[in-house]
């Protein structure tokens, strides 16, 4: 028998977004969470928490196809896409109806669908969220009133406010009851007549990107109208960011985190991905840059692996997420393409300390003060997290970054002229300076890294057919790449 779910609105995601091709390797977590959710049927609402750029959208799309494969009706709503609308109730109602009906055209004539459409229409015609908050409180003892829409009524006279409340109150109580009943019965129809599994899963994405007032009203709409038996809602948010958005509406002293708990039954947090493994799956091809002299290569690694390891370390140092890393790679590759063009036009060999280039790109993107303070002659103290993260016993993350940046920064050198007068000149570090650090090393990992930085630095003291990139060379392409978002 052909599944009714093959007509799902986003059926094509089965090929493009499934856990088998998940580059973040979240299949085990996704399947675990899906098993947990299908066990919750009594109007369950989950807050799927993940920071900006953590891959929430990619994860939800894979959850969508996973539930389809298990024959669960599943609905996906992009809240931000509908942020232009003034009415979240209309948005959620429309998506619920159209995506449920599309599973099988016959269900559109079902009496429960018709009743649901009728009562949704009545609710939408009223001043929906504000009166619904009050009605829900009276009918269901639901303390989640707090509606931004309700607040605007207080700008009117008490008489006008009470008149509107009285007109809409009875209809709203009836509408809320009937909407919840119709949704629950509709889920049973899908199960009984069309062999679909229940609960129906509703995935709501990008809520934290919406206007604060719209995000709040969307949560209230779900709570008041659609939290019902046989339905499970998964709402993806950056919970910390959403808390700040709520404070922007209700005031800095408002307990926004406690307020959010009224909308959610549970919170699940996306696990942090393995960045290096993710980068490996992206398989960035550096063969087109093989005429460039990119260094240093990490111990036991080719240049692609060395780049991946470096970005993984920078993700720790600068708290980079998947979206940050994708943007960083795009900018980095644009810089290398520029270096390729320079090589072709000048015929000079380009020697590039690529960790320094990546560090500069990150500092510029994060608008760090250290970037503005950095010059050809000055390498300020890096501003990073987990500075004491161990790459090896004697090689800390801060050492890795300092070594990379010092390698492209000129130092002051004393020299006496033929008359014995003391003069100063600026030059890149000599091999002898770096050799001292190498001699202090006790692990091969640190020694190998320092050796790799020393191998090419000699070209910084030569002219002719060689071009060794110092900070000024990098800064030029970094700021050009910074125009790409």
More confident residue, 159 or 327: 327
For 469, list phi and psi in degrees, rounded to 5.
-75, 120
CA distance 350 to 293: 6
Mean pLDDT for 242-250 is 84
Q: Which of 56-65, 71-80, 213-222, 361-370 has the lowest mean pLDDT?
A: 213-222
Among positive and negative, which fits the CA dihedral 419, 424, 428, 430? positive
pLDDT reported for residue 172: 64
Residue 204: C-alpha distances to residues 31, 41, 56, 77, 310 (Å): 18, 17, 11, 5, 35
pLDDT at 431 over 70: no
User: Is 112 within 8 Å of 182 (Cβ atoms)?
Assistant: yes
| DSSP string computed for 313-369 | HHHHHHT--HHHHHHHHHHHHHHHHHHHHHHHHH-PEEEEEHHHHHHHHHHHHTT-H
Residue with tokens 């890795």: 400
* Mean pLDDT within 137-155: 45
Look up residue 22 and give its DSSP letter. Answer: -
Res. 135: pLDDT tops 80: no
Q: What would the two tokens of residue 326 be?
A: 């994708």
51 pLDDT higher than 90: no
Give the pLDDT mean for 210-229: 86
Region 204-210: mean pLDDT is: 88
Rounded to whole angstroms, how far apart are CA atoms 76 and 87? 18
Q: How many helices (H) and strands (E) does the chain have?
A: 20, 12
Give bridge partners of residue 396 from the DSSP assignment: 390
The rounded distance, in Å, linking the Cα atoms of 436 and 447 is: 11
Q: Where exactly are the structural domains of the chain?
A: 4-269, 275-481
Q: 93: buried, middle or exposed (CB in 10 Å: 19+, 13-18, 0-12)? A: buried
CA 456 to CA 468: how far, in whole Å?
8
228 neighbors 183 (Cβ within 8 angstroms): yes
Of 71, 8, 58, the closest CA to residue 29 belongs to 58
Q: Which of these ranges, 50-59, 133-142, 373-382, has the smallest mean pLDDT?
A: 133-142
For the cut 60, the answer to whether the pLDDT of residue 144 exceeds it is no
Residues 141 and 241: their CA atoms lie apart, in Å, by 29
Q: What is the largest CA-CA distance in the chain?
A: 104
- Residues near 379 by Cβ (< 8 Å), separated by ≥ 6? 402, 405, 406, 409, 471
* CA–CA distance, 268 with 271 (Å, rounded to integer): 9
Is the distance from CB of 73 to CB of 190 less than 8 angstroms?
Answer: yes
Measured between alpha carbons, how far is 470 from 454 in angstroms, rounded to an integer? 14
Q: Give tens-digit pLDDT for 369-391.
A: 999 999 989 899 999 999 999 99
Cα separation, 62 vs 305, whole angstroms: 28
**pLDDT 10s digits, 82-98:** 777 667 888 888 888 88
Answer with the residue of higher pLDDT: 68 or 152.
68
d(CA 205, CA 82): 11
CA distance 215 to 222: 11
Q: How confident is the model at residue 397 (pLDDT cuts 50, 70, 90)?
A: very high
55: left (phi over 0), alpha (psi -120 to 50) or beta: left
Please give the Cα distance from 77 to 207 (Å, whole number). 10
Nearest to 470, CA basis, from 382, 400, 404, 401: 404
Query: What is 99-160 written as a DSSP string?
Result: HHHTT-GGGGGSHHHHHHHHHHHHHHHS-HHHHHHHHHHHHH-------HHHHGGGGS-HHH
- For residue 478, is pLDDT > 90? yes
| Token output for 337 | 């393409």
> Sorting pLDDT into bands at 50, 70 and 90, what band is 34?
very high
């Amino acid at each position: 028998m052909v599944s009714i779910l093959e007509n799902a609105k986003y059926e094509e995601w089965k090929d493009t977004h499934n856990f088998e091709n998940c580059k973040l390797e979240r299949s085990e977590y996704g399947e675990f969470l899906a098993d947990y959710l299908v066990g919750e049927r009594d109007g369950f609402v989950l807050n799927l928490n993940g920071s900006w750029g953590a891959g929430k959208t990619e994860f939800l799309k894979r959850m969508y196809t996973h539930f389809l494969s298990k024959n669960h009706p599943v609905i996906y709503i992009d809240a931000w896409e509908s942020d232009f609308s003034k009415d979240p109730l209309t948005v959620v109602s429309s998506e619920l109806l159209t995506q449920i009906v599309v599973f099988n055209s016959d269900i559109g004539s079902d009496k429960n669908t018709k009743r649901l459409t009728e009562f949704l229409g009545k609710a939408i015609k009223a001043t929906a969220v504000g009166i619904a908050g009050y009605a829900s409180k009276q009918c269901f003892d639901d303390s989640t009133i707090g509606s931004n829409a309700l607040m605007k009524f207080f700008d009117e006279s008490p008489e006008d406010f009470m008149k509107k409340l009285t007109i809409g109150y009875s209809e709203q109580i009836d509408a809320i009851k009937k909407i919840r009943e119709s949704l629950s019965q509709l889920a049973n129809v899908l199960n009984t007549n069309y062999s679909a599994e229940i609960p129906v899963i509703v995935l709501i994405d990008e809520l934290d990107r919406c206007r604060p007032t719209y995000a709040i009203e969307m949560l209230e709409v779900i709570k008041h109208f659609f939290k019902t038996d046989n339905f499970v809602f998964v709402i993806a948010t950056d919970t910390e960011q959403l808390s700040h958005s709520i404070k922007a509406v209700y005031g800095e002293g408002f307990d926004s985190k406690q307020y959010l708990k009224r909308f959610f039954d549970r919170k699940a947090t996306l696990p942090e991905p393995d960045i290096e493994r993710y980068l490996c799956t992206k398989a960035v091809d550096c063969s087109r840059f093989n005429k460039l002299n990119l260094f240093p290569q990490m111990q036991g690694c080719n240049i692609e692996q060395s780049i991946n390891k470096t970005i993984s370390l920078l993700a720790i140092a600068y708290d980079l997420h998947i979206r940050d890393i994708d943007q960083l790679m795009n900018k980095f590759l644009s810089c290398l393409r520029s270096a390729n063009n320079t090589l072709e036009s000048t015929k000079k060999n380009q020697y590039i300390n690529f960790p320094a280039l990546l560090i500069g790109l990150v500092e510029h993107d994060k608008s760090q003060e250290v970037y503005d303070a950095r010059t050809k002659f000055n390498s300020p103290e890096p501003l990073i997290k987990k500075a004491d993260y161990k790459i090896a016993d004697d090689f800390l993350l801060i050492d890795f970054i300092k070594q990379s940046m010092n390698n492209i920064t000129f130092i002051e050198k004393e020299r006496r002229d033929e008359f014995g007068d003391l003069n100063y000149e600026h030059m890149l570090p000599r091999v002898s300076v770096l050799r001292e650090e190498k001699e202090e090393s006790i692990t091969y990992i640190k020694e190998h890294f320092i050796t790799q930085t020393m191998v090419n630095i000699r070209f910084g003291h030569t002219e002719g057919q060689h071009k060794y990139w110092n900070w000024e060379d990098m800064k030029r392409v970094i700021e050009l790449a910074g125009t790409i978002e």
